[in-house]
């Protein structure tokens, strides 16, 4: 950013601006242990999600052809580091996948025996929620077969597993859901930032000294009633609407917009396919009703009526039939270890798919036949 010259610099070209809104979000933070990233990827973008789904599914496929019992157990052990909403929701989803969706898809392994461990350095999960709700979420996760380790800071993450409080836990799939750091907007602007790298903004979300530059969403740092606004979508959306109004007022030559005020509608988190916890003002809900509310809220905020309708039918169908694209393995990149590449061939044969083209639905029987063919071909070639 060239704030003095009012230009956004993009490689060879630059774009002049009258008003600038920066909303470049956040990425994972490994709290100074960046070397852990290759072994414990995080979830932030759609690409991350596709990569993680692929990694999880390939672990089951690798376990199916693994003959060494210890290696097989390591392949069937999934560790999630960080028990905030993302960690809790993803742990529940993996438990559902392993213990229910894939339960009868393999011959050599029993996916129901999959070990799923949620590790948290703090004394409890879901710190943003009231303790009573966090306890209920913990019990729901335990019912799904998840092991929860609180007060357990991770000390090392490597290709073969994690070290927690001096104990090594062999696991071939480790997922990082422990922390985020803001984008580098602070550096681009030469602005003051907080500990997480978020740009400290004024009460109208502008950069101090630059009334025409605004920073919003996960990359902005603003406190309200002594508490930092959380990095969630409603904050980003309300800030976006507010800044649009500020700019419209300025352009109309009007002054006197009140400072930005965030109105929280509460917190929601799901645990598996029919349990959630909801906190909204004095309302505390758990169980199926909370889960239905979670669905309604997420569908309501989707853009466009057609999207809402389609997603509603798709989710209802998947819920009732458990028939969804959970098994789809899409193509990876050349930097993956060779053992994974061999499995890619296996999986590609199974799914009869090429990059980014969904596989046709197969019956259980044909999946198994292809599985064996794929394994044989992969081993031969």
Residue 232 binds ligand FAD, judged by CB under 6 A: yes
In the complex, minimum distance from the CB of residue 230 to ligand FAD, in angstroms, rounded to a whole number = 8
Helix (H) or strand (E) holding 247: helix 233-251
Distance in Å, CB of 181 to ligand FAD, minimum: 12
3-class secondary structure, 318: helix
Contact between 279 and ligand FAD per CB under 6 A: no
Which of 216, 247, 221 has its CA nearest to residue 234?
A: 216
Cα angle at 239 between 187 and 32, to 5 degrees? 35
Smaller CB separation from ligand FAD, 83 or 378: 83
User: In the window 288-307, what residues touch ligand FAD (CB under 6 A)?
Assistant: none
Among 6, 7, 17, 23, binds ligand FAD (CB under 6 A): 23
Strand duo 223-224 + 227-228: pairing = antiparallel
Show the tokens assigned to 16: 């002049």
- Residue 43 in contact with ligand FAD, rule: CB under 6 A: yes
Minimum CB distance to ligand FAD smaller for 170 or for 202 = 202
Binding region for ligand FAD (CB under 6 A) out of 22-30, 101-109, 140-148, 317-325: 22-30
In the set 61, 89, 120, 351, the catalytic residue is 89
Provide the minimum distance between the beta carbon of 72 and ligand FAD in the complex, in angstroms, as a whole number: 29
> Residue 187 — φ and ψ, nearest 5°?
-70, -45
Residue 210 CA to residue 4 CA, distance in Å, equals 9
The SS3 call for residue 116 is strand
Residue 236 binds ligand FAD (CB under 6 A): yes
Nearer to ligand FAD, 145 or 234 (CB): 234
Can residue 57 be called a binding residue for ligand FAD (CB under 6 A)? no
261 close to 278: Cβ distance less than 8 angstroms? no
Residue 102 to residue 88: CA distance in whole angstroms: 20
d(CA 19, CA 207) in angstroms, rounded, equals: 11
* Chain residue at closest Cβ approach to ligand FAD: 217
Q: Which is nearer to ligand FAD, 25 or 145 (CB)?
A: 25
Consecutive H or E run containing 156:
strand 154-158
d(CA 277, CA 133): 6
Distance between CA atoms of 170 and 163, rounded to whole angstroms? Answer: 9
State the nearest-atom distance from the C-beta of 339 to ligand FAD, in Å: 27
Measured from the CB atom, the residue of 164 and 229 that comes closer to ligand FAD is 229
Q: What angle do CA 377, 378, 380 make, to 5 degrees?
A: 60
Of 233 and 296, the one with the shorter C-beta distance to ligand FAD is 233
- Applying CB under 6 A, among 7, 44, 124, 284 the residue interacting with ligand FAD is 44
Q: How is residue 6 written in tokens? A: 């009012």
Of 199-207, 229-237, 248-256, 354-362, which part binds ligand FAD (CB under 6 A)?
Answer: 229-237
Q: Are 347 and 61 in contact (CB under 8 A)?
A: yes
Is 217 a binder of ligand FAD (CB under 6 A)?
A: yes
* Shortest CB 360 distance to ligand FAD, Å: 29
Nearer to ligand FAD, 24 or 29 (CB): 24
Among 35, 233, 248, 309, binds ligand FAD (CB under 6 A): 233
Binding to ligand FAD in span 175-194, by CB under 6 A: 183
d(CA 63, CA 102): 13
According to DSSP, residue 305 is labeled H
| Binding span for ligand FAD by CB under 6 A among 190-198, 217-225, 243-251, 340-348 | 217-225
Q: Token pair of 204, please?
A: 């109208």
Cα separation values, 15 from 3, 19, 77, 189, 231, Å: 12, 12, 49, 15, 28
Candidates 64, 66, 218, 279; binder of ligand FAD (CB under 6 A) is: 218
Task: Compute how many residues bind ligand FAD; rule: CB under 6 A.
Answer: 15
Burial class (CB in 10 A: 0-12, 13-18, 19+), 212: middle
| Binding test (CB under 6 A) with ligand FAD, winner from 24, 212, 353, 362 | 24
120 is catalytic: no
Q: Which residues are catalytic?
A: 89
Binding interface with ligand FAD (CB under 6 A): 23-25, 43-44, 86, 183, 217-219, 231-234, 236
């Amino acid at each position: 950013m060239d704030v003095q010259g009012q230009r956004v610099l993009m490689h060879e070209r630059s774009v002049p601006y009258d008003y600038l809104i920066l909303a470049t979000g956040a990425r994972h933070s490994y709290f100074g242990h960046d070397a852990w990233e290759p072994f414990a990827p995080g979830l932030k973008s759609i690409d991350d999600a596709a990569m993680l789904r692929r990694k999880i599914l390939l672990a089951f496929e690798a376990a199916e052809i693994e003959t060494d019992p210890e290696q097989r157990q390591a392949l069937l052990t999934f560790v999630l580091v960080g028990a905030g909403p993302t960690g809790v929701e993803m742990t529940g989803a993996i438990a559902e996948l392993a213990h229910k969706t894939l339960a009868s898809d393999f011959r050599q392994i029993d996916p129901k025996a999959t070990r799923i461990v949620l590790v948290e350095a703090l004394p409890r999960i879901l710190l943003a929620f009231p303790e009573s709700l966090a306890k209920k979420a913990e019990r729901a996760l335990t019912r799904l077969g998840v092991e929860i380790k609180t007060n357990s800071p991770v000390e090392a993450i490597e290709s073969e597993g994690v070290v927690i409080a001096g104990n090594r836990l062999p696991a071939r799939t480790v997922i990082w859901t422990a922390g985020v750091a803001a984008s580098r907007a602070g550096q681009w602007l030469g602005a003051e930032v907080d500990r997480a790298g978020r740009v400290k903004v004024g009460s109208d979300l502008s950069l101090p000294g630059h009334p025409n530059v605004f920073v919003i969403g996960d990359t902005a740092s603003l406190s309200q009633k002594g508490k930092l606004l959380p990095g969630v979508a409603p904050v980003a959306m309300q800030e976006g609407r507010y800044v649009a109004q500020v700019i419209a007022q300025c352009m109309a030559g009007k002054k006197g917009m009140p400072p930005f005020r965030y109105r929280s509608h509460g917190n929601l988190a799901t645990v598996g396919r029919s349990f959630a916890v909801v906190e909204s003002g004095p309302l505390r809900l758990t169980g199926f009703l909370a889960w239905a509310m979670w669905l309604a809220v997420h569908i309501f905020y989707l853009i466009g009526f057609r999207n809402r309708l389609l997603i509603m039918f798709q989710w209802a169908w998947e819920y009732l039939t458990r028939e969804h694209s959970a098994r789809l393995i899409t193509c990876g990149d050349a930097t993956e270890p060779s053992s994974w590449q061999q499995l890619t061939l296996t999986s590609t044969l199974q799914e009869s798919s090429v990059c980014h083209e969904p596989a046709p639905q197969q019956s259980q029987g044909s999946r198994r036949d292809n599985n064996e063919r794929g394994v044989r071909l992969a081993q031969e070639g």
